[in-house]
Structure 1
Amino acid sequence: MDHREIIQILNEKKKICLLIDASKYATILTNDSFKFEECLRIISKLTSDLRIINKILNKKSPKDKITSLTNILLQLYGCMLALTNGDVSQENSNDKNNIESNSIKFVKGKYGKPLLESSMPIKFSMTTDKLFSSMFLTKGLEDTEVGIDVANVINYCGSNCIDLFRDIFTEQEFNYLSTSPNATTELQKARLFTKYWSFKESYSKYTGEGLNCAFQKVNFGELTIEDDTTIKTYDLHDDIGLVLNFYSKWIDSNRVLTVCYKCSNDHKDNYIVHKRIDLRDVLNYLNGADIFD
């Protein structure tokens, strides 16, 4: 992955979605404590917030530790790219030394959502699944928060799942989920439910409210199971006075990824660029050396 490509997309498109699947590094990071600790040291060099390290170490299972580790590394990587001076020439593709000396700082929003402490208009949102992490990153979109969520069909609990989570759906959504002619098989029902869930969660990430979000106030109507071919705009004016953009994409057979951000007249696009990056490339960029050699 050419890091300058990501910087250029941020400069031109103002937004990007970054994805990491760390599964191929799970064994080595589980069995080699030195390499895992080296990753922690890289994080500690970039931010003085020890709570980030503790958050990783407090995870119980090795997979959860690696997922959390990957998520933080991606968060730092994306923010470092966004903080560069915007010159994507080879000589000035980033200003890492300056960023490292100042250290990256995060603050908590009203509901605990992490925010980058910067004078630049940079916003991000993070989401994880097992050994998978994604970041929705924007630069230059004024006065807006962002949200992202990955949802997995394996978490669908069968036909009673819709009834079990009845209180998060509007009446229109619930009726469509229950009777949609486009979701007659169990797999189709699972995929449709999962997509709705991802939409709802991405909105809660946007507000920062998490599970305290008033999900039932947000009506997405009749969603399709397939990928969104364009960015969709939802007018939530009647309930909360807000117009938001959503873009959803199946990133593999089980997982759907949805992003959410406030509408901007200056930067209207038909899609969000998704870039898959390798954990090794992220660590090389942050550390300046390959720890897996």
Structure 2
Amino acid sequence: MENFIEDTKARNDIDAILVLDINSNELSDEFQFEMALRALPISWRARVLNKKIDADRKRTLCNRLLQLFGCSTISGIPIKSLRFGSIENGKPILLQQDDDNITFSMTNGENYVAMFLKRTTCGPAPYIGIDLASVKDLNDPNDLILFRDIFNLEEYTTLRNASKENVQELFAYYWSFKESYTKYTGTGISCDLKVIGAQELQNFDSFKKINRVIESKSMIFYSIWLNGPFKEILTICEQGISTKYIAPTVYRLSLKDILSYL
């Protein structure tokens, strides 16, 4: 956590991915959960408590805490003074910006919640997107046919031809690729996911960057694998055509770190 805070003070432009492990002892009992919940604005607490499953409540709480921490640190605005709004398609934004130089995107996974955020000094910060997907998203490779409508022909053929050892990882990659773009646009998965095409992929590795043109926009996608109880892949996307892409810095955080900051 200290590295991220120091970097936001030392650098003008920030390109960062914050990853928070949600399997924390800090939420192991009701008292600790309640204390963490009180760090949220009152209007946000109901969204956490309305989740019916305990794991979903913890995941939503961690997501909101990470959003507050990341936005406060990068903007210099105290936690209690932060204000958020939304733009077209409900995409969240940080208010209180004179030049719109800060942008962020959030995602929830099985083991982690994550945040992609940028601060720029040259004009408004561009839209960005992030998504986490798990190998658990395709529990049984035989269920692939159920997802036929979200893949274009090239992607679906690649999945069908993948080995049993690789198909779940490839499915998770494709899913995070498509969802990161829907987070970029703010449309959600109600859009035509076939249009968001990663196309055929072979032997993709961690820290994989690819360029694709989607809906007439040149997009950069960047992915990393996170190892935990369930293997997950994190994919970010932003508009650009840079051939010398400098990947965002990844900061791994604990809930204890964030609660101590809040």
Which residue of 2 is the match for residue 149 of structure 1?
131
Higher strand share: 2
CA RMSD in angstroms comes to 2.3
Which residue of 2 is the match for residue 21 of structure 1?
21
Which residue of 2 is the match for residue 291 of structure 1?
none
Quote the Cα distance in structure 2 between the aligned partners of 1:260 and 1:22.
23
- Offset at 1:274? 1.2
Residues 63 and 230 (structure 1 numbering): CA distance in 2 closer, same or farther, change over 3 Å? closer
Which residue of 2 is the match for residue 261 of structure 1?
238
Which residue of 1 is the match for residue 6 of structure 2?
5
Quote the Cα distance in structure 1 between the aligned partners of 2:224 and 2:193.
21
- Offset at 1:280? 0.8
Quote the Cα distance in structure 2 between the aligned partners of 1:9 and 1:170.
44
- Offset at 1:63? 1.8
Q: Which secondary structure state, in structure 1, belongs to the residue aligned with residue 12 of structure 2?
A: helix
How many residues are aligned here?
Answer: 255
Q: Which secondary structure state, in structure 1, belongs to the residue aligned with residue 179 of structure 2?
A: helix
Residues 151 and 201 (structure 1 numbering): CA distance in 2 closer, same or farther, change over 3 Å? same
- Offset at 1:114? 1.9
- Answer yes or no: is 1:274 the counterpart of 2:250: yes
Q: Is the 8 A contact 2:132 2:234 kept in 1?
A: yes
- Mean CA deviation greater in 115-124 or 74-83: 115-124
TM-score (norm 1): 0.79
- Answer yes or no: is 1:173 the counterpart of 2:155: yes
Residues 255 and 10 (structure 1 numbering): CA distance in 2 closer, same or farther, change over 3 Å? farther
Which residue of 1 is the match for residue 83 of structure 2?
105
1:191-202 matches, cutoff 5 A: 191-202=169-180
- Could you list the runs of 5+ residues in structure 2 that have no partner in the other structure? none
Kindly provide the CA deviation profile for residues 119-154 of structure 1, in whole angstroms up to 9, marking residues without a partner as x: 232111111123521001111173521111110111
- Could you list the runs of 5+ residues in structure 1 that have no partner in the other structure? 45-49, 85-95, 287-293
Percent identical pairs in the alignment equals 34
Q: Which secondary structure state, in structure 2, belongs to the residue aligned with residue 246 of structure 1?
A: strand
Q: Is the 8 A contact 1:18 1:135 kept in 2?
A: yes
- Mean CA deviation greater in 14-23 or 115-124: 115-124
Quote the Cα distance in structure 1 between the aligned partners of 2:11 and 2:203.
29
Which residue of 2 is the match for residue 54 of structure 1?
46
1:76-115 matches, cutoff 5 A: 76-84=68-76, 99-100=78-79, 103-115=81-93
Segments ≥4 residues shifted beyond 4 Å: none
- Offset at 1:111? 2.2
Which residue of 2 is the match for residue 42 of structure 1?
39
* Amino acid in the other structure paired with 2:233: V
Quote the Cα distance in structure 1 between the aligned partners of 2:137 and 2:146.
13
Residues 24 and 139 (structure 1 numbering): CA distance in 2 closer, same or farther, change over 3 Å? same
- Answer yes or no: is 1:247 the counterpart of 2:229: no
Q: 2:65 aligns with which of 64, 73, 80?
A: 73
Q: Which secondary structure state, in structure 2, belongs to the residue aligned with residue 70 of structure 1?
A: helix
TM-score (norm 2): 0.88
Q: Is the 8 A contact 2:110 2:134 kept in 1?
A: no
